[in-house]
Amino acid sequence: MQWLAIVIGLFWSFASYSTQLFDLVDIEGIRDNQLIGYGLVVGLQGTGDQTRQTRFTAQSIINMLRQFGVQIPDNIEPRLKNVAAVSVSASLPTYARVGQKLDVTVLSLGDAKSLRGGSLLATPLKGVDGRVYAVAQGSLFIGGVSAEGASGSKVSVNVATAGQIPSGATIERSVIPYLQDRTAITLNLKETSYRQTRNIVKKIDELFGQGTASAVDGRQVLVETPVEPDQRVAFMSALEGLNVDSSPVLSKVIFNARTGTIVIGENVRIRPVSITHGSLVVTVNEEPQVSQPGPFARGGTTQVTQRSAISVSEPSRALKLLPESISLEEVTAALNSIGATSSEMMAILQAMKRAGALEAELEIL
């Protein structure tokens, strides 16, 4: 009887956790559509493309000016360091209507040093079919910064050649899936699970009647739906609020490589693991040396040369034991005890995931 009590306890702990249906599945045909475009960022403070290396930026400026009646001779190539050629991308959700806004991501295509302070000119965004679905324009938000001295020394924090424009694109064409004439919809589970499939079918049949849902395999469920739009919306509304017995959802750890941001979800777990993390320190010292010709030399001139001294050091660090952590507070305290920077923490978490010590899904933006 002892093993029976253990099995019942495990089943009860599994069944006591419920998740909304639409957090577990995706509706086939309802998805985001990727858009991309080519544009120009203007208003930079001398940190744009160098036209000698990126001639397409100058060509784009010439073509744009010709559309406004400004003619530039063919033998003249403008040198504008306050302009950068960029790629613009956005994600268009299904059912998004004309006139609504989208967030866009802007990435440098040339050798621009920074996009900080720039504004994107009107840029059409196209889908894979070549049609224009949105138009993007606006001032960029940059999470990084870079500075360079006259001697060539340079300091960079995060990425200064990538930015975003919140609500920077206006939808010009909608994407409406052809689901109105179908009598059934397909639910695709985000993770393969035959137990989860059976739970979903059971819950749907309990709410709408036997035979409403049927399992295809461990990742797909067919659901019979009304044909009338108003009835279908009411049906989908009830389906959206349906709670399904499930195991705890695997949480995520999200990295933003451009800004160094790390976000850890609630259900992240750490198993006991030992970690050591060292970093190389490279020191470069440059001292000017004056070289003069000999007393009786003819035609010699005084020259200034640079003498470089390079040293590499690696601090020694002992292994640090991270205990098992089951709450978000314990996970945060354990990771903070390592004393690593955000970029180092990304590498540590990836290594922990490969070692099986991190129970979470890693996602890099």
Tokens representing 45? 């403070």
Rounded-to-integer distance, Cα 36 and Cα 38, Å: 7
Per-residue model confidence as pLDDT tens for the chain (365 residues): 343 343 334 333 444 467 888 888 888 888 889 999 999 999 998 888 876 777 888 888 888 888 888 888 877 777 778 899 999 999 999 888 999 999 999 999 988 888 988 999 999 999 999 999 999 999 998 876 555 554 455 555 567 888 999 999 999 998 887 666 678 889 999 888 898 899 999 999 998 889 899 999 989 999 998 888 888 888 888 888 888 887 665 678 888 877 778 888 777 888 887 777 666 555 656 677 766 676 666 666 777 666 666 665 656 666 667 777 767 677 777 777 777 777 778 778 888 888 878 888 888 87
Where in the sequence of the chain do the CATH 3.30.1360 domains occur? 178-245
The residues with which 18 forms a beta bridge, in sequence order, are 245
User: Which candidate, 90, 136, 140, 145, places its Cα nearest to that of 113?
Assistant: 145
CATH number attached to the domain at 178-245? 3.30.1360
Question: What DSSP letter does each residue of 27-80 carry, written as one string?
Answer: ETT---EEEEEEEEEE--SS-S--TTT-HHHHHHHHHHHHHTT----TT-----
Please give the model's pTM, rounded to 2 decimal places. 0.62
Q: How distant, in Å, are the alpha carbons of 54, 66, 89, 115 from that of 59?
A: 9, 11, 22, 19
Q: Which residue has 């010590």 as its token pair?
A: 357
User: Which candidate, 190, 216, 221, places its Cα nearest to that of 203?
Assistant: 221
Tokens representing 335? 């990771």
Rounded-to-integer distance, Cα 190 and Cα 252, Å: 14
Packing angle of the helix pair 229-240, 194-208 (nearest 10 deg)? 130
Q: Which residue has 């960079």 as its token pair?
A: 156
Rounded-to-integer distance, Cα 65 and Cα 115, Å: 22
Q: Which residues 6+ apart lie within 8 Å of 41 measured at CB?
A: 48, 83, 84, 85, 86, 106, 112, 115, 118, 119, 120, 121, 140
